[in-house]
Each structure stands twice: as C-alpha cells, then as structure tokens.
Amino acid sequence: MKILVAGGAGYIGSCTTEYLLDRGHEVVVYDSLVKGHRDAVDPRARLLHGDLADRDRVFEALRAERPEGVIHFAAFIEVGESMRDAALYFRNNVANGLNLLDAAVDCGVRKLVFSSTAAVYGMPATVPIPETEPTKPINAYGESKLIFEKMLRWYNEVHGLGYTALRYFNAAGATERRGEDHHPESHLIPIILQAAMGQRPHVQVFGDDYPTPDGTCIRDYIHVSDLAQAHLLALESPLCGSFNVGSGSGFSVKEIIQVAREITGKPIPVITAPRRPGDPPRLVSDSTRARTELGWTPRFDDVRTIVASAWAWRQRHPNGY
C-alpha cells in the first residue's frame, strides 16, 4: 500500500512509519516539524515538510502522491496546555485537520486512520472502559479529538471516506531506533528515565491521595509497536468506527517507578506533588473489539518489556533526537 502519514515525525507516527516500511509498504511522511523531529523520520520514507494549516500544500501533497491510505497523527497532545489555550487545540486538531479530510476526499483515499485518545471518556464510570462508555471529555484536548471523530463519521456518511479512530491509552516504549522525546517532557516514563540518568533530581508524583490501592493514578501502558500494528490492521480493515487500543492492565504511578528502579538499577528519587488538574484516577481499556474485529494481538504486552525498551533507547539517545 502507499500510505501518507501526517505527523510521521512524532513519537507514535515515526514508530508506525518504521513498522509499515518493515512490512513492505511505501510511506510518505507529511509533517510541520513543529513538534516532531526530522531525525525520527525513517530514511526509507519520503518527508514532505508542511503544515496542515496550509490547505493548498495539503492538497498538493495528496494530489501528487495519491495514497490509498492516510494515517493522521498530526495534532497537539498536551492536556494541560489545552486547558490554558483551548483555541490552539481546536484550531490545530480540528480546523487544520479538516484540510486533510477534504484533500483525502478529493483524492479518493480509501481509508483514513485517526489518532484518538482515551481522553474522550473523561471520568469513565466503567473500568475497564468499553467503547460503549459515554464520551464526556474533561479537557479541551479530549474534546478536540472527539469532535474530529464525529467529523469522520459524517465524512463517511456524506462522502464515503472509510475511517477508523483508534483511542490510544498510554503509548510507551521504543523500537531500537525510535523513542519518546517531547520538549518539554511531560510524560511519566521518559521523566522517570531522565531521573534515572541523573538529568532530573527526582520524579514528582502528582497526587498520592487518589481512590486507588496506593493512592496514585492508574494507567494502561501500551507499547508503541503494538499501536503501530493496530494502525496497519485498521488500514486493511473494511470496518469503520472507533476502537480502544490498550493492554487492558493498569499500573499505578508508584508501580511504574518501582519497575523502572528494577530495570535501570538506579534509585530514582521521588517527591509527592499536588494532583495535576484533569487527571482521572483510573484509565484502563477494554480492547476486546480491536482484538476480535481487527485481529489485533499485542506482542509487547508487558510493562517490564515496555519500560526496558524505553530505557534501552534513552541510553542510546541520552538527550533525545
């Protein structure tokens, strides 16, 4: 297949690009490089430098490349930032994304796979969370992704554009060559590993008074290569709709820190800090639909393997890309 990957210089986008190329697909990356890294783009892919805000450039790229499938990763992802500047999220994640949808329709793209998020559920009443759980985001980031899912449904109905929205839980881990590197870093596992390397004095645990067994938030960590697998299956599948992609197992912040201490052999100092606004206590997926309907079978479904892969990458790239 020829696949255009929007946001292919970011963390999940670059790992998915590598996964698709390893399986013989042709990949064109479209990325603004505002958040992504040029060095994260697999040299076997072609990089088109452009922003989704530039409608003419998006159309030009799709018309020149004529991909069968599009994967759309290009978005802002910081929950906290979305609560300080909601317009940034609606403009980039919704309005700019429309240019990609219109260009996909214009060029007769068969299927578009979209990076959605567990943040669409807000504070779920049912955990593990099935896709039937009501979607009630508690931050502008989650709302921007949910609006885009709804737009996809209508583009399917009105224009026949096939789509799958993958609701990721906590993407983590690394391939041999590609890993997680945000500036500034806000994600738990890279922060823990920076502390293990002595690049930070400690890890702040955001709240230890949640209604969970050890008082810290529980998340569902899923290896980035397993997420990549879900994208290819979604592109190949005729099914349209939204699917959870997570391991189905929950680990608390304190448990992740303990796993990292065992894997790195470093002490990793910790301090307790106030809760971070917008953090639900427990997010764990029920990903039965992805497994049964897409045939998704995670291969690195173990939190130690995930942290070990992130640590191996971090040691090779102590300062990121």
Binding site for ligand UFG (CB under 6 A): 77, 79, 117-119, 141, 170, 186-188, 191, 203-206, 217, 219, 253, 276, 279, 283
Answer yes or no: are the C-beta atoms of 5 and 45 closer than 8 Å: yes
Nearest-CB residue to ligand UFG?
Answer: 217
Nearer to ligand UFG by C-beta: 48 or 71? 71
Question: In the structure encoding, which two tokens stand for residue 121, read together?
Answer: 């559920």
Q: Are the C-beta atoms of 159 and 272 separated by less than 8 Å?
A: no
Find the shortest distance in angstroms from Cβ 38 to ligand UFG.
22
Smallest separation (angstroms) from ligand UFG to the CB of 191: 4
For the question of residue 121 being annotated catalytic, the response is: no
DSSP letter assigned to residue 280: -
Q: Which is nearer to ligand UFG, 4 or 129 (CB)?
A: 129
Q: Which of 11, 19, 141, 210 is catalytic?
A: 141
- Residue 218 pairs in a beta bridge with 252, 282
Which tokens belong to 200? 């930070």
Measured from the CB atom, is 62 or 113 closer to ligand UFG? Answer: 113
**Based on CB atoms, which residue is closest to ligand UFG, 16 or 170?**
170
β partners of residue 26: 2
Nearer to ligand UFG, 237 or 242 (CB): 242
Q: How far is the CB of 219 from ligand UFG (least distance, A)?
A: 5
- From 169, 182, 165, select the one nearest 34 (Cα to Cα): 182
The least distance separating ligand UFG from the CB of residue 252, rounded to whole angstroms, comes to: 8
Contact between residue 70 and residue 20 where contact means Cβ atoms under 8 Å apart: no
Yes or no: say if 76 and 129 are a contact pair by the CB < 8 Å rule.
no
Report the nearest approach of ligand UFG to the CB of residue 223 (Å). Answer: 14
DSSP symbols for 170-210: EEE---SS-----SS---HHHHHHHHHTTSSS-EEEE-S-S
Q: What are the catalytic residues?
A: 141
